Amino acid sequence: SAVEYGLDAPFSVEYHDSIPSTNARARDLAGEGTSNVVVLADEQTGGRGRLDRDWHSPSGGVWLSVLFRPDVPMAHAPVFTLAAAVAVTRAAREAGVEAGIKWPNDVLVRHGDTERKLVGILTEMEGEADRVSWVVVGIGVNANVDPADLPDEANPTSLSAERGEPVDRRLFTQRLLEEFHALRQDPESVLDAWREYATTLGKQVRVETPSRTVEGEAVDIQFPGALVIETESGTEIVSAGDCEHLRPL
Ligand code: BT5
């Protein structure tokens, strides 16, 4: 219900021309007791990816973080990462860019055999096992950015590079947030939408986690975001948070 997922209250937007990290700022706001804020920046000077990796965030991107306080157990929070991936995929497609989702948190554009990274998502949270205190969903979109200014090894792309012209960032951000807000209030619908855009399902993959490597066919996704893999020795389930790398085989 709307109340359960905390949709009732309006959101405010805090805009920065330049900031170290919108996620760090949103976490600080959470620590001050704030909720329902979108922190948005044109440039980040200390953007972060998962596992403390760097996230390059030159001027022209859409770098944003959504802070909210859903009434859900901690274990359900990964569904918000999936919701963000679906939201940004829909907004990209509306902007004419055929994006797809690579589990767990990348939005990519396929060029022949290579997949180029358009978006990264970083979800952070704090709270008790039975109820999160806050969730920050950080979404980094290479919007009007030259991929030559991004790290090569990541095979980056951008909305402007794919379209051949800049995107209206205001309109794009608005559509992205509308979709995200609708999805985060209706977590049951997220998985079906996610499957529709997934590039990972039906493929042979190798997933590395801190404790093991799992190889097999990615057959499905499970609430709140785990990947189901059929291996030679049976079905394995890898949670999104455990994934360090996923490679197609
Ligand atoms: C992610 O990490 O993909 C999550 C990125 C989240 C960024 C957003 S921006 C708003 C908010 N504020 C923050 O500080 N963060 C969030 P991961 O899966 O760990 O991927 C990181 C890797 O992607 C790096 O090691 C690089 O190889 C590559 N990379 C870095 N910057 C990139 C970019 N702009 N585009 C494509 N790839 C990039």
CATH number of the domain enclosing 78:
3.30.930.10
Domain check: are 121 and 165 in the same one? yes
Dump pLDDT digits (tens) for 173-220.
999 999 999 999 888 889 999 999 999 899 999 999 999 999 999 999
Q: Starting from the edge strand earliest in sequence, which strands make up the sheet with 245-248, in order?
A: 234-238, 226-231, 213-222, 204-208, 245-248
Q: Which residues line ligand 1 (CB under 6 A)?
A: 21-23, 44, 47-51, 53-57, 63-65, 105, 117, 120-122, 138-140, 142, 150-151, 153-154, 156
| Count of domains observed in the chain | 2
CA 48 to ligand 1: nearest atom: 14
ipTM at complex level: 0.99
Q: Are 6 and 71 in contact (CB under 8 A)?
A: yes
Q: Are 92 and 118 in contact (CB under 8 A)?
A: yes
The pTM is what? 0.94
Q: Which two tokens stand for residue 122?
A: 């970083």
Q: Work out the percent of the chain whose per-residue pLDDT is above 70.
A: 96
In a domain, 2, yes or no: no
Domain check: are 78 and 94 in the same one? yes
**Chain mean pLDDT for the chain:** 92
Buried b (16+ CB within 10 A) or exposed e, 116-126: bbbbbbbbbbe
Domain check: are 44 and 62 in the same one? yes
Burial of 112 (0-12, 13-18, 19+ CB in 10 A): exposed
Dump pLDDT digits (tens) for 99-137.
999 998 899 999 988 899 999 999 999 999 999 999 999
Q: Output the CA 75–ligand 1 centroid distance in Å.
A: 23
Please give the residue range of the domain that contains residue 55: 12-197
Which pLDDT value is given to residue 66? Answer: 97
